[in-house]
Amino acid sequence: MHDEPLDAAYYQDLLREHELSVTPFRVKLLKLLAKLSVPLSVQNIAAKFDEAVDKVTLYRNLEAFEHAGLVCRMYFNGQEALYEQRFTDHHHHHLICTNCGRIEDVAGCSIETPRTGSGFKINHHHLEFYGLCHECQLKKQGII
Ligand SMILES: [Zn+2]
Ligand SMILES: [Zn+2]
Ligand SMILES: [Zn+2]
Ligand SMILES: [Zn+2]
């Protein structure tokens, strides 16, 4: 779903544009996030690194990215926080399986941004559809 990997200079510029200091770890983390196809927990993002990463450091950086609008934090089915980048991504929504927790992307958006009387400035939205994935449907029918 995501574009081809971009070079370090792209990520350095991205960090500067968002008024974040440039560190090798942040560049590495952005690169990694750009490659992910589904939202992942801090634990699962940490596991994607070749070397051991401090979870608190990782969490703090994800939080900084979230505040800067580079990353979205989501909670599905009352699970732990899941993170997904939104700097290279095409806008999409998620399908959540209520049986196994599988997450799939679904393209297309028919949401019209509402007018807000209060002066609230909307910058993006999230939308999830809940149901059963194909595999869980087959399991339910006793086919697999
Ligand atoms: Zn997604
Ligand atoms: Zn968001
Ligand atoms: Zn499922
Ligand atoms: Zn949408």
How far away, in angstroms, is 109 Cα from ligand 4 center? Answer: 4
Both tokens assigned to 4: 């081809």
Which bound ligand lies closest to the C-alpha atom of 131? Answer: 3
Interhelix angle 24-35/55-68, rounded to 10 degrees, is 70
How far away, in angstroms, is 7 Cα from ligand 3 center? Answer: 36
Where do the CATH 1.10.10.10 domains begin and end in the chain? 1-89
**The pLDDT value given to residue 6:** 73
Q: Which CATH architecture has domain 1-89?
A: Orthogonal Bundle (1.10)
How far away, in angstroms, is 45 Cα from ligand 1 center? Answer: 14
**The pLDDT value given to residue 69:** 95
- The total number of residues shown for the chain amounts to 144
pTM of the predicted structure, to 2 decimals: 0.86
- Smallest Cα–Cα separation from 1: which of 75, 106, 135? 106
**The pLDDT value given to residue 2:** 47
pLDDT mean for each 10 residues of the chain (144 residues): 69 96 96 92 95 96 97 89 90 94 92 90 93 96 88
* Sheet of strand 103-107, all strands in order from the earlier edge strand to the far edge: 103-107, 92-97, 128-131
How far away, in angstroms, is 25 Cα from ligand 4 center? Answer: 31
- CB-based contacts of 82, cutoff 8 Å, min separation 6: 39, 40, 41, 73, 74, 75, 76, 103
Which bound ligand lies closest to the C-alpha atom of 122? Answer: 2
**The pLDDT value given to residue 5:** 59
Where do the CATH 3.30.1490.190 domains begin and end in the chain? 90-144
Q: Which CATH class is domain 90-144?
A: alpha beta
How far away, in angstroms, is 41 Cα from ligand 3 center? Answer: 18
How far away, in angstroms, is 5 Cα from ligand 1 center? Answer: 17
